[in-house]
Structure 1
Amino acid sequence: MRVALMWEARAVQGRGAELMEWARSRELAQEPLRRESFRAPQDRVLVLTWWDAEALDAELPELPEPAADLVTRPVHRWRFEAVD
Structure 2
Amino acid sequence: MTVALMWEARAVPGRGAELLAWAAEQRLPEQPLRRETFRAPQDRVLVITWWDAAYDADLPELPEPDGELVTRAVHRWRFESVRAD
Q: TM-score range by the shorter chain?
A: over 0.9
CA shift, 1:23, in A, is 0.3
Superimposed CA distance per residue, residues 10-56 of structure 1 (whole angstroms, 9 cap, x where no aligned partner): 00000000000000000001011000000000000000000000x21
CA distance in 2, matches of 1:27, 1:74: 20
CA distance in 2, matches of 1:79, 1:24: 20
Q: TM-score, normalised by structure 2?
A: 0.96
CA distance in 2, matches of 1:57, 1:45: 25
1:66 maps to amino acid: P
Q: Which residue of 1 aligns with 2:9?
A: 9
Unaligned runs of 5+ in 1: none
Matched, 1:52 2:57: no
Q: Which 4+ stretches in 1 moved above 3 angstroms? A: none
Unaligned runs of 5+ in 2: none
Q: TM-score, normalised by structure 1?
A: 0.97
What value does the CA root-mean-square deviation take over the aligned residues? 0.5
CA distance in 2, matches of 1:18, 1:33: 26
